[in-house]
Amino acid sequence: MAKPTTPRPSRAKPKPAIPAGADHNRPRPDAPVDYKASKEELLEFYRQMVLIRRFEEKAGQLYGLGFIGGFCHLYIGQEAVAVGIQSALEPGKDSVITGYRDHGHMLAYGIDPKLIMAELTGREAGISKGKGGSMHMFSVDHKFYGGHGIVGAQVSLGAGLGFAHKYRGDGGVCVAYFGDGAANQGQVYESFNMAELWKLPIIFVIENNQYAMGTSVNRSSAEDQLYRRGESFRIPGLQVNGMDVLAVRGATEEALKWVKDGNGPILLEMKTYRYRGHSMSDPAKYRSREEVQEVREKSDPIEGAKKHLEAAGISEEELKKIDQDIRKIVSDAADFAESSPEPDLDELYTDVLVEQY
């Protein structure tokens, strides 16, 4: 009689507890397509990006001359993100909140460069009466809720803004911007949970400029594909070329559609790059000059838009004229900021507490 054989272990792979793909049966946003801009829109994108770049260059100079004190973080290289996203929002209806790298966002929101520059130099005419400075600019009129120095804090506050839109039923959407470094902060995930649970109208935007001060995203993030960071909260994510204003605008359209259809939040990871140091004092030992140079040469957002404009028949002269006009706007803003008076000492006690809003 043959000896009974011991059952051999099955060679079949163990089945996952959740069948593969099951979680992905839930609705998802469509894959975004690049925005088809008219010639006028393309010109406006170009104009705004050049404005941010020249404004930031001037801010860097004024800092060097001692007109700007404290911290100052420039947005150079990231222009397409703010410009592409803000262009899709409804002014006065949608709200925006971001971190301390905020000058570019304010400019893209149509706020007067003079008032922003005067804020940088701490003058009374500044958008926050000279008391916010580079990192803490605010304009409730524009539904621009800062300008925040605590890394990641704006994400929770943004969830609150999203809640307010829903509670009031005003149809607005909040856009909460944060960095790749901020994406590792705990409060971001508490906010994700509540935002999805309550289906808040909010677009979370990670501006992945590859570095958090001197630490690269790959060194600090176990999951460096940051658009996936919302998945365990059922928040879908899209990864976007943040150096291309048309890709940014296209993804924003898709995100707005998702949120306005009542699906709750969505996450956009904007792959971008900052050309300058983290702030004004940065020895930049964590990356090579060649790395920066390569991005400038191959993916610059302004040069990219220029190519689209040239293809649309805009002449070199027209672009030069725009550049000249913007240089004038920026130098006027700097003159205004340098010549405006400083706030009165009594201002120390105003706007400290808002008793009713």
Ligand X SMILES: Cc1ncc(C[n+]2csc(CCOP(=O)(O)OP(=O)(O)O)c2C)c(N)n1
Q: Is there a contact between 35 and 249 (Cβ–Cβ < 8 Å)?
A: yes
Residues that bind Mg ion (rule: CB under 5 A) add up to a total of 4
Task: Give the largest CA-CA distance in the chain.
Answer: 106
In three-state secondary structure terms, 332 is: helix
Instruction: Name the residue nearer to Mg ion (CB basis): 193 or 215.
Output: 215
Q: Is residue 209 near ligand X by the rule CB under 6 A?
A: yes
Question: Considering only CA atoms, which of 63, 123, 62 is closest in space to residue 339?
Answer: 123
Q: Is there a contact between 238 and 192 (Cβ–Cβ < 8 Å)?
A: no
Q: Which does 156 bind (CB under 5 to 8 A by kind): ligand X, Mg ion, none?
A: none
Q: Shortest distance, CB of residue 186 to ligand X, whole angstroms?
A: 10
Q: Is residue 149 near ligand X by the rule CB under 6 A?
A: yes
Give 149's strand partners.
none
**Beta strand extents in 43-173 (DSSP E only):** 95-97
Q: Which does 46 bind (CB under 5 to 8 A by kind): ligand X, Mg ion, none?
A: none
Q: Is residue 179 near Mg ion by the rule CB under 5 A?
A: yes
Q: Is residue 180 near Mg ion by the rule CB under 5 A?
A: yes
Contacts of residue 258, Cβ cutoff 8 Å, sequence gap at least 6: 29, 236, 266
* Contact code string over 241-280 relative to ligand X, x by CB under 6 A: -------------------------------------x--
Contacts of residue 255, Cβ cutoff 8 Å, sequence gap at least 6: 29, 203, 238, 266, 268
Q: Shortest distance, CB of residue 183 to Mg ion, whole angstroms?
A: 9
Q: Is residue 209 near Mg ion by the rule CB under 5 A?
A: yes
In three-state secondary structure terms, 233 is: helix
The whole-angstrom separation of Cα 122 and Cα 161 is 27
Q: How are the residues of the chain apportioned to helix, strand and coil, as percentages rounded to the nearest 5?
A: 45, 10, 45
Q: Is there a contact between 200 and 158 (Cβ–Cβ < 8 Å)?
A: no
Nearest residue to ligand X by CB is 179
Q: Shortest distance, CB of residue 93 to ligand X, whole angstroms?
A: 26
Q: Is residue 150 near ligand X by the rule CB under 6 A?
A: yes
Residue from the set 50, 51, 117, 151 that interacts with ligand X by CB under 6 A: 151
Q: Shortest distance, CB of residue 222 to ligand X, whole angstroms?
A: 16
Q: Shortest distance, CB of residue 322 to ligand X, whole angstroms?
A: 27
Q: Using CB under 6 A, which residues numbered 166 to 185 contact ligand X?
A: 179-182
Tell me the window of 129-137, 153-161, 209-217, 248-256 that interacts with Mg ion (CB under 5 A). 209-217
Question: Hey, CA dihedral for 272, 29, 223, 97, is it positive or negative?
Answer: positive
Give the binding site for ligand X (CB under 6 A): 101, 149-151, 179-182, 209, 211-213, 278
Give the binding site for Mg ion (CB under 5 A): 179-180, 209, 212
